[in-house]
A and B are shown apart, each in its own frame.
Chain A
Amino acid sequence: MRLYLIVSASPSLCPGDNPQATHLPRAWAPLARPPPHGSRLTADLFSTNPGALKSPVSEQTTTPEDQRSPEDPLTPPPPAASLTPEPHNPGTPPDLFESVAEGPVVVQGGSPKLSSVPLDLPAGGNGGEGKQQDTSEPPVPPSSILPPMGAPLTPPVVPITPTATPSLTPNITPAAPTPVTPVAVARSSPEQAEGDGGDEFIQITVSDPQKIGDGMSSYMAYKVTTKTNVSYFRKKHWSVMRRFSDFLGLHRKLVEKHLHSGRVIPPAPEKSAIGTTKIKLGSDKNADSGSLDFIERRRAALERYMNRTSTHPTLRADPDFREFVELDAELPRATQTSALSSAGVLRLLNRVGETVNKMTFKMDESDQWFEERTQQIESLDAQLRKLHASMERLVNYRRELALSTAAFAKATAVLSSVEEHSSLSRALHQLSESTERTQTIHHAQADADFYVLSENTKDYIQLISAVKDVFHERVKTFQTWQHAQITLAKKREAKAKAELAGRMDKVQQAQEEVTEWEGKVERSQEEFERISRAIKKEMEQFDVMRVKDFRDMVIKYLEDLMTSQQQIIKVWETFIPEAKAIS
């Protein structure tokens, strides 16, 4: 039973989706950090929980409990109790998607010690979300767990409510003392974890797009093949089938879980209503080149997306990611990704709110580093966009060149057939063939222009947006902190007033409020500092990766260009003797 509890807490599960439960254990194996018994405990505890969230909630409350027991001499039960109100707090209706997201995160957090217990864990997998080659970090939650540890359970909650402020989270998390140690511990792990990323190898390919079903309910499924030597995966090489909305769902979950901890989440390919509908409605036979093109673009984009995500040590260890890559069955529909769902509308509203926020709130930047980086990011963004535009122009012109060369080849063929002088006719025929070959080369080069250069640059523009999002998260935490400080001041004032007025009952209450807000201020400050640190670290890694990617992209492109030229050389070399042979 308990197993099922955990299982049902899987990110991709919808509440009542029991049938899935049976499949999940496998996927969950590596992740089965959450000690079964731990969860069982909490499950009971949670019977009192305002039914808003189901098992997931229990999950999240479970783990802190758990982790506390193995890791810190903290009182498990009481905090758990205090936790109860909280899960409900994130005012969102059981948006399973969201709450579910928390589940795994939390689960992971508690796992380290208990890794041996649960379902068949891969040997090295102990708590090894953060790519543990060295399994020496059991107590330390992988970097991705950092948030839950640091601000226990704060992160999971934040995404749920649009306006969720860190101040809410403390309620969920056990009393203040708890965060301290985990934070200290956790801090070292990310560095360690990230540093060890070097020897690991993971490569994902997305292939074989297939159309499943028919008409409007049809969709494209892609085969996701993973090759890896990372320890916590169950196999070295395997494939699963995934549909496009699965990818989007994964992205959403990752964003929710990690954005506020200062991570840059690689952006997923965009939805395209037109392209998708064309494919849905088109039959297999007359898939025109336009939709084939669209499918190819999408497949390539998905592949890049998966590889980028898997390169990131933290994201790679994320249970959602692992499940996505490993689960050998259909993932539950991530319905929340569709634009028209309630979650979609909610997201839209969030986005609007955030944009307004971005525009109106001017943060008092005390950190020089952030000041510079923000500016650099902005100019990088603008410049990349310009560059991308000129790349698109290049692609278009080259495609035009390929087309006009083809037309010319045909015209020359006609001319050659009309020409009465025989050797000239032969030469012209050769010219036509040579041009035909050149055309193919041009066409291939245009494709290279597009896929290697233009699409990658576009990805980078999107990545930069993701970076901007992370920066903005930091601004938000700053805002929260400020707000907390202001409120604290007010509460203090209120207390002073009450004292003056001699209203002892009011004073008592005011005192409580002051204490409460003092705590909040402290926590939000910590949160702010934590996210600042995390972002700095993240950006370092991002920079390294970005530079490497860019160089690779340019080098590959130049190599392609060179190959084209060499092929052109061959074409003309074969033509010259023919031309000379004209008598």
Chain B
Amino acid sequence: MMDGMEDVLPSETNGTKSGRSDTVDLNDSTLQVDISDALSEREKVKFTVHTKTTLPDYAKPEFSVVRQHEEFIWLHDRFDENEDYAGYIIPPPPPRPDFDASREKLQKLGEGEGSMTKEEFSKMKQELEAEYLATFKKTVAMHEVFLTRLAQHTVFRNDHNFKVFLEYEQDLSVRTKNKKEKVEGLFKSFNKSTDEILLAATQKDVDDYFEREKTFLLEYHMAIKDATTKADKMTQAHKSVADSYIQLSSGLSQLGTIEGPRLEKFINKVADTFEKARKVEGRVSSDEDLKLSDTLRYYVRDGSAAKDLLYRRLRCLANYEQANKNLDRARAKNKDVHAAELAQQNACEKFEHISNKAKEELNDLKARRVTAFKKNLIELAELELKHAKAQAQLLKSCLQSLPEE
């Protein structure tokens, strides 16, 4: 799930506003952020964000704070809204920790407790708990990735809000948006999407490169979203197959007891094999999930962020052209020319800045994506191979031992 380390181009540092010129390398120890601990309480998860830094800006070289999911979102929004960062792809925010599915399953299991044997019940419970744990680990990882990306981005790491997020020991008192704000938020996004559509329809892009990128991104986004959903379904089905082995296994053991000596040993061996096979299948499912689905999912979100970038740029272009028109009008009327000129110049600068940045970011995204896919696909294939071999071996040894009776 970790995307490839951002290869921050050295040229960045020259253009940055902060004027920092330290060389940034991949394993930068000047600012290291990770989530050292996480606690899952009833409805929320508390992450312990641990920072190690050598930057002078910070009060202490090493410190930790406790943050909740909402605060991460707050941080992301701060970046998103900041016009200075308009040219960058803002790292996508981590998804909300969602334990509902697991909880539901646990509940259903509890209800069905009467209808299965004790062992069956305890095994299924174990499975569900493992699942819960896996979901938990995933959400921690995703939050961590978000922070790491920010920490390593030459520009973002110096953001003031980021610093506050890392350092401020009290609660950031980021309340979840109350109704009004939620409605506002809704409006905003609605506006944004209509604007997007409008722009897409009307605004002709000057640069061919961006035009192509846009089309590509749109198509790609749809395809990858689709692939993610299907991948999820597939891993789910795989998990169900693995789980049904549990019942098969315990059913067989019970049959063995009834059957008596003639078949008992045989059956027990088979039941055992099913139990082991189940564990392997379960791992296949979770590995598929981790390597395949998650990668796809991450790039869905990243792609989304890239789309946002393009949108901002387009908006900027529109503004720029608008400013041009204004300038022309002002000149024609010979009124407020200076103001218009200034505005136009601003818009022009902004636009160019964004365009350049955007180009870099998009290339960057591409490279990152390719690397991540490569890494994960290789790992996926190797794991699948390993598991399939394990299962085949398991079955083979079972078959060999059976006729011995």
By a beta-carbon cutoff of 8 Å, the part of chain A in contact with chain B is: 376, 379-380, 383-384, 386-387, 390-391, 393-394, 397-398, 400-401, 403-405, 407-408, 410-412, 414-415, 418-421, 424, 427-428, 431, 543, 547, 550-551, 554-555, 558-559, 561-562, 565-566, 568-569, 572-573, 575-576, 579-580, 582
**Assuming A390-B247, A397-B241, A398-B241, is B388 touching A572 (CB within 8 A)?**
yes
Are B382 and A558 closer than 8 Å at their CB atoms?
no
For B234, give its contact among A394, A408, A543, A565 (CB under 8 Å).
Answer: A408
Are B370 and A394 closer than 8 Å at their CB atoms?
no
Are A397 and B240 closer than 8 Å at their CB atoms?
yes
**Assuming A408-B233, A418-B223, A558-B270, is B378 touching A579 (CB within 8 A)?**
yes
- Does B126 sit within 8 A of A, measured CB to CB? no
- A397 neighbours in B (Cβ, 8 Å): 237, 240-241, 244
Could you list 10 A-B pairs, sorted by A, with CB under 8 Å? A379-B258, A383-B255, A390-B251, A397-B240, A407-B230, A427-B377, A428-B373, A576-B382, A579-B374, A579-B380
Q: Which of B216, B229, B366, B374 has the most CB of A within 10 A?
A: B374
CA distance A162 to B365 in the complex (A): 83
**Assuming A394-B245, A582-B377, is B262 touching A408 (CB within 8 A)?**
no
In terms of DSSP, what is the predominant structure of the interface of chain B? helix
CA distance A379 to B254 in the complex (A): 10
Q: How many residues of B contact A (CB 8 A)?
A: 57
CA distance A420 to B260 in the complex (A): 63
Nearest-CB residue, chain A, relative to B285: A401
Are B392 and A565 closer than 8 Å at their CB atoms?
yes
Are A568 and B384 closer than 8 Å at their CB atoms?
yes
**Assuming A421-B370, A547-B262, A576-B382, is B241 touching A394 (CB within 8 A)?**
yes
Are A386 and B237 closer than 8 Å at their CB atoms?
no
Nearest-CB residue, chain A, relative to B403: A555
CA distance A410 to B227 in the complex (A): 8
- Does B252 sit within 8 A of A, measured CB to CB? yes
Nearest-CB residue, chain A, relative to B240: A397
**Assuming A407-B233, A424-B374, is B395 touching A562 (CB within 8 A)?**
yes
Are A383 and B223 closer than 8 Å at their CB atoms?
no
- B229 neighbours in A (Cβ, 8 Å): 411
CA distance A219 to B202 in the complex (A): 66
- Does B200 sit within 8 A of A, measured CB to CB? no
Q: Which of B234, B373, B389 has the most CB of A within 10 A?
A: B234
Nearest-CB residue, chain A, relative to B247: A390
For A562, give its contact among B241, B255, B399 (CB under 8 Å).
Answer: B399
Are B398 and A408 closer than 8 Å at their CB atoms?
no
CA distance A573 to B384 in the complex (A): 9
- Across the A-B interface, give the 8 residue pairs with the lowest CB-CB distance, nearest first: A390-B247, A562-B395, A401-B237, A387-B251, A408-B230, A565-B392, A582-B374, A411-B227
For B237, give its contact among A400, A421, A568 (CB under 8 Å).
Answer: A400
Q: From residue B266, how far is it (CB to closest CB) to chain A in Å?
A: 6
Nearest-CB residue, chain A, relative to B284: A568
- Does B174 sit within 8 A of A, measured CB to CB? no
For A579, give its contact among B216, B252, B381 (CB under 8 Å).
Answer: B381
- B101 neighbours in A (Cβ, 8 Å): none
CA distance A405 to B235 in the complex (A): 9
CA distance A495 to B61 in the complex (A): 116
Given A414-B226, A551-B402, 13 new contacts (CB under 8 A): A386-B251, A390-B244, A400-B237, A400-B240, A407-B230, A411-B227, A543-B262, A551-B266, A555-B403, A562-B395, A562-B396, A566-B388, A582-B373
- A427 neighbours in B (Cβ, 8 Å): 373-374, 377
Are B385 and A573 closer than 8 Å at their CB atoms?
yes
Q: From residue A144, how far is it (CB to closest CB) to chain B in Å?
A: 27
- A408 neighbours in B (Cβ, 8 Å): 227, 230-231, 233-234
- A558 neighbours in B (Cβ, 8 Å): 270, 273, 395, 398-399, 402
In terms of DSSP, what is the predominant structure of the interface of chain A? helix
**Assuming A421-B370, A582-B373, is B241 touching A414 (CB within 8 A)?**
no
**Assuming A551-B266, A555-B402, A572-B384, is B237 touching A565 (CB within 8 A)?**
no
Are B230 and A411 closer than 8 Å at their CB atoms?
yes
**Assuming A408-B231, A418-B219, A547-B263, is B241 touching A576 (CB within 8 A)?**
no
Nearest-CB residue, chain B, relative to A434: B381
- A547 neighbours in B (Cβ, 8 Å): 259, 262-263
- Does B224 sit within 8 A of A, measured CB to CB? yes
Q: Which of B238, B374, B381 has the most CB of A within 10 A?
A: B381
Nearest-CB residue, chain B, relative to A402: B237
CA distance A369 to B374 in the complex (A): 67
**Assuming A387-B251, A569-B392, A572-B388, is B398 touching A405 (CB within 8 A)?**
no
Are B223 and A404 closer than 8 Å at their CB atoms?
no
Are A384 and B255 closer than 8 Å at their CB atoms?
yes
Q: From residue B379, how far is it (CB to closest CB) to chain A in Å?
A: 9
- Does B248 sit within 8 A of A, measured CB to CB? yes
- A420 neighbours in B (Cβ, 8 Å): 216, 366
Q: Mark B197-241, 1 if CB is under 8 A from A, else 0.
A: 000000000000000000010011001101101110110111011
CA distance A558 to B238 in the complex (A): 18
Nearest-CB residue, chain B, relative to A375: B258
CA distance A562 to B236 in the complex (A): 22
- Does B152 sit within 8 A of A, measured CB to CB? no
CA distance A555 to B260 in the complex (A): 19
Are B237 and A393 closer than 8 Å at their CB atoms?
no
- Does B391 sit within 8 A of A, measured CB to CB? yes
Q: From residue A437, how far is it (CB to closest CB) to chain B in Å?
A: 12
CA distance A419 to B381 in the complex (A): 20
Nearest-CB residue, chain B, relative to A567: B388
CA distance A523 to B276 in the complex (A): 58
CA distance A425 to B248 in the complex (A): 41
Q: From residue B380, how far is it (CB to closest CB) to chain A in Å?
A: 8
- A572 neighbours in B (Cβ, 8 Å): 381, 384-385, 388
- A383 neighbours in B (Cβ, 8 Å): 251, 254-255, 258
- A412 neighbours in B (Cβ, 8 Å): 227
Nearest-CB residue, chain A, relative to B224: A415
For A404, give its contact among B234, B247, B252, B399 (CB under 8 Å).
Answer: B234
CA distance A412 to B231 in the complex (A): 9
CA distance A312 to B244 in the complex (A): 35
Are A569 and B389 closer than 8 Å at their CB atoms?
yes
Q: Mark B296-312, 1 if CB is under 8 A from A, else 0.
A: 00000000000000000
CA distance A431 to B291 in the complex (A): 13
Q: Which of B254, B273, B392 has the most CB of A within 10 A?
A: B392
- A411 neighbours in B (Cβ, 8 Å): 223, 226-227, 229-231
- B270 neighbours in A (Cβ, 8 Å): 554, 558
Q: Which of A547, A550, A565 has the most CB of B within 10 A?
A: A565
- B262 neighbours in A (Cβ, 8 Å): 543, 547
